[in-house]
Structure 1
Amino acid sequence: MDKQAAQSEIASYVGRLLRESFGKGPQSIFVSINRPFVVLYLRSFLSPTEKILLDQGQIYTIQSTRDLLMKSLIPEIKAYLLVLAGMNIQEFYYDWGLHNQSGIMVGIEASEEYGQSRLESVYTGKEQLELEVNTISQQVEKWPSELYSCLINERTLLVIRIGILISIEKELIRIGHEESLRLAKRNLEKSHLHNNGRFQESLNAKVIDLFVDWDFHLDKSVIVFILHPGQ
């Protein structure tokens, strides 16, 4: 199966899976495969119940419920990607842009070579963007020990940070407060990332959506910028 057909099949499968689990699936899913990465961008994904909760400001309630559901869905999505596309996904990240009714899922194969991916991905504003992400990371936690970025396609930019957790965060994870930490970090980091006009200036593209997630046990984070080029 060629890449375009695989991307279409993945979008159809994940859309059906989400509809069965959440009661309402996304209006559209855009799948991008650029090995070792697969990125799924979801649009118009908010159930009627979630809309009521969002209107009432119950963002954490929506996020917590979705986190619980995703724990059961991720193994199914990984298994499907292995069978359909031959992608052995080792890491899986996701995040929601509730204000835009959007979402992101990112899978990374077990055989990834971040350094090589970084060398092969050259785009306008790369150095400035990586510096700005490092600076923001230092403001809210610490300067990453490693940072790589890859332009998956002209509308999808992936940034990977390694070694960003500070001691108090590691202790919260150790004593079982991982989910609370995730909710707090989403709010804090995204407030810094969203309100930063330098990304748009560096990339010469409008940032229409932005997502962030972590694998605390690997001390690793993924940031995804959804772009509108030339804006």
Structure 2
Amino acid sequence: MTLPSPNELKTKQSDISSYVGKLLRDHFGKGPGSVYVSISDPFVTIYVKGFLSATERVLYSENHEKTLKKTRDFVMDKIGDEISAYIEEVTEISIEELYYDWSLENQSGMFLGVGSLSAEDSQDTFPGKDTVHDEVILMSEQVEKRPERIRSWKINSRTLIVLREGILVEIEKQLIKDGHREILRKSKDKIEKHMLNVKNISSQIESEVEDYFIDWNFNKDQSYTVLILKPNE
């Protein structure tokens, strides 16, 4: 794919931002307050903020988080392919996987579109990279097992992507075979986010972690973590 000019890139980001904002508004009754899009082949990230409707706010305040997330998962099953198709149309990146996650506490969410990523694709070098890997590996060891491989990319000053491969233990694989992948996904979501030491990561990468998201592809035995970094003053 030919690299777009800065103006072309900005237009593509704006188009995706507008589309996703409208799509979420049409399906949830309320769109996000803001949508930030980053494009860096083979990745496209869509970070939404201020996304919690009045009904969802009541559910969240009454500790009905499971119901809220189940409803969002149901809607995402309906619109995930639409988001991927639109990203492809605008960016010409063939999206092979779409990951998503929510931070209800921060009223935010993340969509991560991933195109063709080969085993040989290079990684980025950035300050604190070793610490990021060490903390993600430690978190993984505490929850399941040490990843067989870990890679990371800082696609811009605010977005850091970490890929873990080979993390499932045998009992998790059996739960998936027995049809319990959603229960496993929800359990891993809570535990992994609790275990990840974002404070230590922030202290080493020269940027504060403002938000972070985790999702899994159980079929491929891999997981993506996306860290949103606070702009330096």
Normalised by the length of structure 2, the TM-score is 0.94
Letter aligned with residue 200 of structure 2: R
Cα RMSD over matched residues?
1.3
Q: 1:21 is aligned with what amino acid?
A: H
Q: CA deviation at 1:229?
A: 4.3
Where in structure 2 are there 5+ consecutive unaligned residues? Answer: none
Quick one: distance in 2 between partners of 1:113 and 1:3?
A: 24
The residue that corresponds to 1:89 in the other structure is: 95
- For residue 178 of structure 1, the aligned residue among 178, 181, 188 is 181
CA distance, structure 2, for counterparts of residue 24 and residue 108 of structure 1: 26
Listed as ranges, the matches of 1:10-159 within 5 Å are 10-109=16-115, 111-113=116-118, 115-118=120-123, 121-159=124-162
Matches within 5 A, 1:193-212: 193=196, 195-212=197-214
Q: 1:41 to 1:78 in 2, by over 3 A?
A: same
Query: Could you tell me how far 1:117 is from its partner in structure 2?
Result: 3.5
1:189 aligns with 2:195: no
Provide the identity percentage: 44
Contact 2:198–2:209 (Cα < 8 Å) also in 1:
no
CA deviations over 1:100-145 (Å, ceiling 9, x no partner): 0000000000x22354231xx1110001111111111001100001
- The alpha-carbon deviation at position 58 of structure 1 amounts to 1.2
Q: Is the 8 A contact 1:210 1:223 kept in 2?
A: yes
Q: For this pair of structures, how many residues does the alignment match?
A: 227
Structure 1 stretches of 4+ moved >3 Å: none
Match of 1:217 in 2: 219
Superposed CA deviations along residues 72-113 of structure 1, whole A, max 9, x for unmatched, are 11111111112222111001100001000000000000x223
User: Conserved in 2, the CA contact under 8 Å of 1:155 and 1:226?
Assistant: yes
Q: CA deviation at 1:230?
A: 4.2
The 2-side partners of 1:148 and 1:229 are apart by 23
Q: Distance in 1 between the 2:232 and 2:200 partners?
A: 15
Structure 1 residue runs of 5 or longer lacking an equivalent are none
> 1:163 is matched with which residue?
166
Shift of residue 150, structure 1, vs aligned partner: 0.4
CA–CA distance in structure 1, aligned partners of residues 142 and 181 of structure 2? 21
